Amino acid sequence: MNPELLARVGAWLAADPDEADRATIERLLDADDEVEIHRRFDEPLRFGTAGLRGPEMAGPAGMNRCTVRRATQGVVAWLRAIGVDTAAGVVVGRDARHGSASFNDEVVAVLLGAGVGVHEMPRPLPTPLTAYAVTALGAAAGIMITASHNPPADNGYKLYGPDGSQIVPPHDAMVERYANEAPTAVRGDRSSPLHHVVGEELLEEYREHMRARFAVTSSDLSIAYTPLHGVGGAFMADLFARSGFSRVALVDEQFRPDPTFPGLPFPNPEEPGVLDAGIARANASGATLLIANDPDADRLGAAVRATDGTWRVLRGDEIGWLLGSVALAEAKDGDVVATTIVSSSMLEKMAARAGVPYVTTLTGFKWIAKAAPGRRLAFGYEEALGFAVDPCVADKDGLSAALALARLAHDLARHGLTLLDRLDELEARYGVHAGAQLSLRVGAGRGREVLAEVMARVRSHPPTVLGGTALSEVIDLETGYGDLAPTEGLIWRLGSTGRVVVRPSGTEPKLKAYVEVVAEPSAEDVRAQRRRATALLEAIREDLASVLALDD
């Protein structure tokens, strides 16, 4: 094993506070397992789209107490460097994943040891409540221990700035640099006068605010609901009940938090089969709408029963159009709506007709939340099931979005209509906008290197035709595009037919391609247009699978 690697391992062992993790690394050294040592030390976790996220394991490539300790020291140094008064304290929250409690404890101890106040959430709670608490309490920052919808082995560290939204460059690089330079941490404990537990009254303020916005007097709408073994269950069920939705059938086997996510290797409502148990419960209860939150309840998935009894799982873009149609109808002067470069182009057309300013952002809610400086973000969404329906939370919020979708379904049902009818109406007005994704997962041990190689290859040799449609323009997002900051990604335009966006995921070892095919409004039946658009989508996806093939 080379001396440079051994030196890095030794420095890590000297700083690692966890006895079990140190023992793991020492066993690998004793076994001379250079491959595994390289895996754990060559690619440390980096602050990406949503802070830190990765497998829970010993070493700098994993989520562990040492990683969390250093990250928190980096946060403290960053806050002081940018001149934020840390006397306002930092909100600390967690989900119910493996490791979340101990990582939460580490964050609290490091903050208190650094003389920074702590507002600790009282129990595992949804991520949007941490974001809400930052602004509600006027805190200096917020830290949420969560891996959102990642696989069960993962955990993560999400950072909110003083405005309650996720940090953006260059602040992520600053935190990372300060974390890497962190000295030995001083740890405090909860007996410190700087420690406070967030009171139930703050959670009540959130509930009452959302109830006032989206409640109905009484609804006959029959809903099935699943939190996918996450932390949203009890909170969301209570929110439904308070808001007049009494006919909610809970998916009992997925209701309580369970960090193993039984039966759900990827507890993400976007993944095929994840909503099967919810649909079965909906069928048994006679529900016409299924609502799902991901494990930390910042995302919203939904499925609707069609008139023939079959179920249609809604795409994130479709939910975005539905919620956006309401937000645009209710918009006030100065309001703005926003979505990302990988989301559907329909919201822009809807906003133009409504006379409401629209902004396209880079991928990730950290950008959407900052789309309207000095103005009110009335609505923002990303196709990956993230929705912001109320500006009191400066991040995606699957709780309030669920309530808003239920309210829309209720209002439509009073006129004999469904969410699917509203989607038909929107696509008849603005044209069919068919969308699909292609996700290619990188195998263990290859990581960012493989993604970089593939991006370099397709950047230098882009395809000329996809699905029988010629590329009309190639845009390299790495050099910037319009008002957008440079980012890793490519846009391949297909004339008036649509576009493809290719980018590496910011939260998982995946290469992702986002395809949209657009048909202009016409007198032709919307369903016939969808069938043609879907056929073209599949042809483009088939070609993309070859173009983006991972040599893995």
In this predicted model, what pLDDT tens digit does every residue of 354-384 receive, in sequence order?
999 999 999 999 999 999 899 999 999 999 9
Please identify, among 373, 399, 430, the residue that sits at the C-terminal boundary of a domain: 430
The enclosing domain of 61 has a CATH number of 3.40.120.10
Residue 212 included in any domain: yes
- State the DSSP H helix or E strand holding residue 73, giving kind and residue range, or none if neither: helix 65-81
Q: What is the mean pLDDT of residues 328-347?
A: 97
Residues 492 and 521 in one domain: yes
Residue 552 included in any domain: no
DSSP result, 416-429: T--HHHHHHHHHHH
Residues 367 and 472 in one domain: no
Residues 247 and 233 in one domain: yes
Residues 223 and 115 in one domain: no
Residues in the chain: 552
**What is the arrangement of strands in the sheet containing 90-94, beginning at the earlier edge strand?**
52-55, 154-160, 141-145, 90-94, 118-120, 195-197
Asked whether 300 and 401 are in contact (CB, 8 A), the reply is: yes
Residues 146 and 255 in one domain: no
Residues 378 and 446 in one domain: no
Amino acid type, 481: Y
User: What are 172-228's pLDDT values in tens digits?
Assistant: 999 999 999 999 999 999 999 999 999 999 999 999 999 999 999 999 999 999 999
Give me the pLDDT at residue 552, please: 47
Residues 438 and 485 in one domain: yes
Give me the pLDDT at residue 49, please: 63
Residues 226 and 363 in one domain: yes
User: What are 83-98's pLDDT values in tens digits?
Assistant: 999 999 999 999 999 9
pLDDT at 166 over 80: yes
| pLDDT higher at 332 or 448 | 332
Active-site residue numbers? 148
Neighbouring CB atoms inside 10 A of 191's CB total: 7
Residues 6+ apart with CB under 8 A from 29: 1, 9, 37
pLDDT at 532 over 80: yes
pLDDT at 444 over 80: no
Amino acid type, 359: V
> What domain range includes position 532?
431-547
Measuring CA to CA, which residue among 143, 117, 140 is closest to residue 130? 143
The enclosing domain of 530 has a CATH number of 3.30.310.50
Residue 449 included in any domain: yes
Q: How far apart are CA 350 and CA 223, in angstroms?
A: 28
Residue 320 included in any domain: yes
Asked whether 45 and 60 are in contact (CB, 8 A), the reply is: yes
Residues 189 and 316 in one domain: no
Amino acid type, 2: N
Amino acid type, 489: G
Asked whether 432 and 530 are in contact (CB, 8 A), the reply is: yes
Residues 6+ apart with CB under 8 A from 173: 47
Residue 90 included in any domain: yes
Strand partners, 380: 338, 388
Mean residue pLDDT across the chain? 95
Write out the E strands in 134-278. Answer: 141-145, 154-160, 195-197, 223-226, 248-250
Q: How far apart are CA 107 and CA 103, in angstroms?
A: 6
Residue 488 included in any domain: yes
Give me the pLDDT at residue 551, please: 56
Bridging pattern class, strands 195-197 and 223-226: unpaired
User: What are 254-281's pLDDT values in tens digits?
Assistant: 999 999 999 998 999 999 999 999 999 9
Q: What is the mean pLDDT of residues 318-333?
A: 97
Residues 153 and 297 in one domain: no
Give me the pLDDT at residue 62, please: 97
Bridging pattern class, strands 248-250 and 195-197: unpaired
- Residues of the chain with pLDDT > 70, as a percent, come to 98
Residues 139 and 15 in one domain: yes
> What percent helix, strand, coil does the chain show, rounded to 5?
40, 20, 40
Q: Considering only 200-209, 243-252, 451-460, which range has the smallest mean pLDDT?
A: 451-460
Q: Tokens 């799902």 map to which residue?
A: 292
Predicted TM-score (pTM) of the model is 0.95
Please count the structural domains in the chain.
3
**Tokens standing for residue 402:** 């669920």
Give me the pLDDT at residue 550, please: 64
Bridging pattern class, strands 289-293 and 300-305: antiparallel
Asked whether 473 and 550 are in contact (CB, 8 A), the reply is: no
Name the pLDDT band for 445 (thresholds 50, 70, 90).
low
Residues 500 and 521 in one domain: yes
Measuring CA to CA, which residue among 58, 131, 64, 44 is closest to residue 93? 131
Please identify, among 399, 430, 461, the residue that sits at the C-terminal boundary of a domain: 430
Please identify, among 198, 220, 247, the residue that sits at the C-terminal boundary of a domain: 198
